[in-house]
Structure 1
Amino acid sequence: MRILHILDHSLPLHSGYTFRTRAILKAQLACGWEVAGLTGARHSAPVEDDPEEVDGLLFFRTPNPPRGPSPLREWREIQALAARLEKVVGEWQPDQLHVHSPVLNALAAQRVARRHGLPLVYEIRAFWEDAAVGNGTSSEGSPRYWLTRQLETRAATAADAVAVICEGLRHDLIERGVAPDKIIVSPNGVDLDLFGDPPPPDLELKRSLGLDGAEVVGFIGSFYDYEGLDDLIAAMPLLVTERPAAHLLLVGGGPMEDALRAQRAVSSVADRIHFVGRVPHHEVERYYSLTDILAYPRKAMRLTELVTPLKPLEAMAQRRLVAASDVGGHRELIEHGVTGTLFPPGDPAAMAAALADMFADRAGWEFRRETARAFVERDRNWSSNISRYLPVYQKLTGLAL
C-alpha cells in the first residue's frame, strides 16, 4: 500500500500542522506502509532537493508559481499543485491519495484523482474560512468567507471519504449535507516518542529567566489573536494579588507578538511577564519543565468552538496542569476538575481566579497530572489513533493492509 499525502507545508517547518503530519506519516511507516508527502506552493522552507528526505520522511515539492492578486494567486497555486501531483502520481504510483486542508489542496487533488481513478480522502483540520477569520485576514459573512465555505462543502462532498480532527467539525459538515457515513474522526494526538518522557526541571534555565521560587503559568505556541493571550496578560495583575509568586512565561511568536509586548510594557506587573521568543522544537521540553500550569485562554469564535488544539495534549503528556477557556474545542479534550480546569472565555478576572484556585490546591496536582497523562496514553496516542484510517483505506482501495 502506497499512500501519498498532499499537504500545505511540512517539516522542516515547525507548526502544529507539521507535527500532526509527522506523527501520521511516522505511524503509518511503522505499520509497514509506503508513505510520502507532496507540499504545495505555500511551503516556505528553502528546497535543496526534490524529492527531499526530512527526519526520515520523503517529501515531493511544488515549485512556486508567479505571484498575483487574490484570487489569481490561489488559482495559480491550485494549478501548480495539480501539475506537480500529476507527475508524482506517474512516478511514484500511489494506491491512495490523502489530501489535507486547506481546501486549495483538495481542489488540486480532485482533478488528478479522477483522471487516474485513485481514491481520495480529504482531511480537514480546520475550515479555511474560519481560520482566515481567526488570523484576522477575513471576516465572517464577507463574500470571501461565503465563497470559501461553498468550496469547502463541495470538496468534502466530492471526496470519497472525509477525515476531521474533532466532533465539532464532523457535526458542522453533517449540517452542510455531507453524508455522515463518509466522515471519520481522527483526533489530534501526541507522539509519545517525542513527549513521552518529561525531563526534570532545568534549574539553570529557570535561574536565567528569573523564575527561582516562582509559581509559573506558561503558554507555548503561536501568538495569534484567537489564542487570547491579551486576556492572559490582563489577568496577571489580578493573579499576582492572590499569588504573589506568580509569573507568566510566554514561549513562541506570531502576528500578535508586538501588541502583546506593548501590553506587557504598560502592565503593573511587567516584571512578572517573560517573553522567550521562538525556540527550537528539540528544546521545547526544557520550557515545559519550568511551568506549573499551561494556560490556553482561547477566545470564543467559530474556529475555537469547532477545532481542538494540539498543545493541551502535549502539556498533558508532559504531566503539566492545564487551564483553558470553556470553548468547544477545549471541552473535547478537557474534563473540568479531572484532567484540567475550564474558565469562561474573554474574562481575565475569571481566569485569574481559576489559576489562583489551582495554585492553592497543590494536594490535587498529582492526581490531575496522572489522570491527564493516562487520557493521552489511552485515547490520544498516535500509535493507536492511526488505526482509524485503516478501514477507510481498505474500503476505498480494496487492498489488504
Structure 2
Amino acid sequence: MRVLLTSTDNPYITHLGGKHIHMLLLERGLRRLRVDVTTLYYNKRNLGELIKWSLLPILGDKHGYRRKLWWKINYLRRHIPKAYMIDIIHAHDVLSMISVAEEKQKKVLTLHGYFSKENIEFIKNKKVREELYPYLLQLEEEGVNIADYVITVDKRLKEYIISEFDYPADRIAVVHNAVDTDLFRPISEEKQRKLKKMFGFAEEDIIILVPRRLVEKNGVIYGVLSMKYIQNKKLKMIIAGDGPEKSKIAKEAKGDNRIHFIGSIPHKDIFQYYMMADIILIPSITSHEVQEATSLAMLEGMASGKVVICSNIGGMREIVKHMENGILVNEKDPEEIARAIEIMLNNKNLMDKIGENARSYVVKNHSFLAHAQKVLNIYTKLLEEER
C-alpha cells in the first residue's frame, strides 16, 4: 500500500505541538508496518514563500490572513507528487484536504482540532475576527466534505462535524492520539534522584511538571495559583513552555521561589523532565467554546508511569479514569488542583499504583504502533470498498 501524508504544518521544521508529534509517530508506525509512505508538508523556507509572507503586514489583517491560507493550499497543490503511485491520501488539516480535492485517490482527513474556532483565537482585532469566522467555517466545511473518511482525536470533534456539517457518522472514527512508549517510560527511583540533582534540584524535592505552551486555553495560570494553597517547601513546579500569557502567569508566581519557568524544551529533550517529575499537571480550560482533545502531554506523562492531574474536559476525560489511571479536576479550580496534589503527596502507595495503571493503559491503547495499525485498518477498509 502507498500512502501520501500531507499537512499545512511541517513536523520536520516545527515539532513542539501534539499535531506535529502525531504526524511523525504515524509516519514511523506506518513504515514499521511496511506501508510505503511519502510526505508532502508545507515549507515556507523557500525564497518565494518567505517573500510572500513578508508582504502580509502590507496586505492588511483580513486580506493578508486569507492570502496566507491560500498560499499554503496552493503550495501543496503545486507539489503533489504526480509520478508517485498513491493508493490513499491522508490529510491532517482541512486546508491540505482542499489542496488534494481534484486527486482521484481515496482521502482520509484527521481532525486535530476545530479549524475555524482555533484560528480566530489568535486574531486580536474583534472586527476582523467577526469577518473572518464565516470564511474559515466555509473552508472547514469544504475540507471535511471532500474527505471519504474522517478520523477525529476525540468524541467531541466527531459530534461537532456531525452537527455542524451533517457529515455521516458511519464515516467517522475516533482514534485518540499516540505516544512513543519507548522514549517515554518509567525509570527507577535512583535514576529519578540523579536526574533531579542533574537539573539543579534536591533529591528529596517533589517535582510537578507543567509541560504546556503559555496560552489561555492551557490554563497554566491555575496551576500556578494552586501553589498558594500548598505550604510544602519541598514541592517544586516546573513550567516547560513559553507564549503570550507568560507575563500574566509570572506575575501570579512572583515571590514563590518554588515555581520555575524553563521556557520551551525541544520534544527530543522533554522526556528527561517527565522522568524526573513526580506529578504531571495538565490544567487546560474551555476557551472560545473549544476544549483540548487527546493531550499528548497527558499521554506522555502516563507513559512515563506518572500521576497525571488533568482538567475534566475534552478528550482527557475520555481517557483518564479518576483515581485509577490519573486524576480529574474541575477546570479553573486551583484549590481542587491543590487538593489532588496533596492527596498524592500523602499516599505514596496510591501514587505508585495510579502511575503503574497509567503506563499499562497507554502501552495497550496508545502506543504509536497500535495507533498506526488502527489507521491502517481504515485505509484497508476504504480500498476494499473499491473492489
Letter paired with 1:257: K
The 1:346/1:133 distance shift into structure 2, 3 A limit, reads farther
Deviation digits for residues 297-355 of structure 1 (CA, Å, limit 9, x no counterpart): 11123665362211111101101111111112220121111111111111212221221
CA contact (8 A) 1:138 1:145 kept: no
Equivalent position SS for 2:308: strand
How far, CA to CA, are the matches of 1:139 and 1:30 in structure 2? 47
* Equivalence for 1:71: 66
Q: Which runs of 5+ in 2 are unaligned?
A: 57-63
Q: TM-score, normalised by structure 1?
A: 0.84
- Which of 335, 349, 366 is the matching residue for 1:349? 335
Deviation, 1:180, is 0.8
CA contact (8 A) 2:205 2:236 kept: yes
- 1:179-190 matched pairs, under 5 angstroms: 179-190=168-179
CA contact (8 A) 1:318 1:373 kept: yes
Deviation, 1:121, is 0.9
2:106 pairs with 1:119: yes
Deviation, 1:21, is 0.8
* Equivalence for 1:51: none
Deviation, 1:133, is 4.9
How far, CA to CA, are the matches of 1:302 and 1:362 in structure 2? 38
CA contact (8 A) 2:151 2:173 kept: yes
- Which of 128, 132, 153 is the matching residue for 2:119? 132
Deviation digits for residues 129-166 of structure 1 (CA, Å, limit 9, x no counterpart): 23235556587983422332232123212211111111
2:96 pairs with 1:105: yes
2:159 pairs with 1:171: yes
How far, CA to CA, are the matches of 1:291 and 1:204 in structure 2? 9
* Equivalence for 2:23: 21
* Equivalence for 2:260: 274
**Identical amino acids, percent of aligned pairs:** 22
* Equivalence for 1:81: 76
Letter paired with 2:194: L
How far, CA to CA, are the matches of 1:135 and 1:320 in structure 2? 32
* Equivalence for 1:33: 35
Equivalent position SS for 2:34: coil
Deviation digits for residues 28-48 of structure 1 (CA, Å, limit 9, x no counterpart): 1111111011112xx46x579
The 1:118/1:64 distance shift into structure 2, 3 A limit, reads farther
- 1:252-401 matched pairs, under 5 angstroms: 252-265=241-254, 268-269=255-256, 271-301=257-287, 305=291, 307-398=293-384
Deviation digits for residues 25-80 of structure 1 (CA, Å, limit 9, x no counterpart): 1111111111011112xx46x579xxxxxxxxxxxxx9557233121222232222
Identify which of structures 1 and 2 has the higher relative contact order when contacts are C-alpha pairs closer than 8 Å and 6+ apart: 2
How far, CA to CA, are the matches of 1:146 and 1:372 in structure 2? 41
- Which of 131, 137, 150 is the matching residue for 2:138? 150
CA contact (8 A) 1:219 1:294 kept: yes
2:183 pairs with 1:194: yes
* Most deviating of 389-398 and 2-11: 389-398
Equivalent position SS for 1:277: coil
CA contact (8 A) 1:97 1:119 kept: yes
Letter paired with 1:260: I
* Most deviating of 389-398 and 289-298: 389-398
Deviation, 1:232, is 1.1
CA contact (8 A) 2:211 2:239 kept: yes
2:213 pairs with 1:222: yes
Q: Which runs of 5+ in 1 are unaligned?
A: 49-61
CA contact (8 A) 2:285 2:291 kept: no
- Which of 217, 226, 229 is the matching residue for 1:235? 226
How far, CA to CA, are the matches of 2:83 and 2:201 in structure 1? 55
Letter paired with 1:193: D
Deviation, 1:100, is 0.7
The 1:211/1:327 distance shift into structure 2, 3 A limit, reads farther
How far, CA to CA, are the matches of 2:309 and 2:252 in structure 1? 22
Letter paired with 1:230: I
Deviation, 1:210, is 3.4
Q: TM-score, normalised by structure 2?
A: 0.87
Cα RMSD of the aligned pairs, angstroms, is 2.6
Q: How many residues align?
A: 371
How far, CA to CA, are the matches of 1:127 and 1:138 in structure 2? 20
Letter paired with 1:26: R
The 1:247/1:108 distance shift into structure 2, 3 A limit, reads same
* Equivalence for 1:5: 5
